[in-house]
Amino acid sequence: MTKEIRDVTRDKKLWRTFFISPANNVCFYGECSYYCSTEHALCGKPDQIEGSLAAFLPDLALAKRKTWRNPWRRSYHKRKKAEWEVDPDYCEEVKQTPPYDSGTRLLDIMDMTIFDFLMGNMDRHHYETFEKFGNETFIIHLDNGRGFGKHSHDEMSILVPLVQCCRVRKSTHLRLQLLAKEEYKLSVLMAESMTRDRLNPILIQVHLDAMDRRLRLVLNALSECIDKEGYSYVVEDDLQGDLGADHIHSGPRRR
């Protein structure tokens, strides 16, 4: 934490959060919207700590990013619930709110929801996009540190956006169905993709098995949506090539 982070970082905001604890350990808490304080700091023993390394994005000077609040963020309050937790029709409100009222952003959120559910990440309170491309862009899937925690628990609240909106890309739906087949099993493909990693195995088998189990839950949720709303409403055909600007800006479907 000293020679590999504190002493080499060029991020002054991060550097200022380093301190020495009463137990004489090196600690830091970084900068974020929630829980970044001395009470929730990461501390070494005395300056050694295990962690994961994320791939670095382009410097902000080269590619500015825009931060968006996730419409389905949690309240992070013991007694206060978020609106989506008490209103089953919450998605209808989201679909009328920019940038979700046009383009592909709502479908991007659905993809991100599935991504988070498969790894059990409950902490998607914000997400980011590259500023230069405006709303014609994609979500950057960064900050997944809360993923792969409890392999034995499937946190169904993560899947609420998909259940409430009942919308998914056809390419995503087909890929999920493929990964549920025995010959293209998600857990096996994930394990194979990490075999050359120097830290292999990255995920122990129980986490891989959890992904297969959660994949079935996602497909079950989509099947219920299709039974209720119809295939043409739920599944957005994104495999027809260039659909043209009129289609891209048509906005989300209304019930």
Burial of 188 (0-12, 13-18, 19+ CB in 10 A): middle
Distance CA 205, CA 55 (A): 24
Residues linked to residue 66 through DSSP beta bridges, in sequence order? 129
Question: Would residue 111 show up in a list of annotated catalytic residues for this protein?
Answer: no
Integer CA distances (angstroms), 171 to 60, 236, 239, in order:
31, 9, 7
> What DSSP designation does 254 have?
P
Asked whether the beta carbons of 167 and 252 are under 8 A apart, the reply is yes
Burial of 45 (0-12, 13-18, 19+ CB in 10 A): exposed
**Which residue out of 101, 123, 197, 212 is catalytically annotated?**
123
Strand ranges for the chain from DSSP E = 19-20, 26-28, 42-43, 65-69, 126-130, 168-169, 235-236
252 upstream amide cis, omega within 30 of 0: no
Name the residues annotated as catalytic: 123
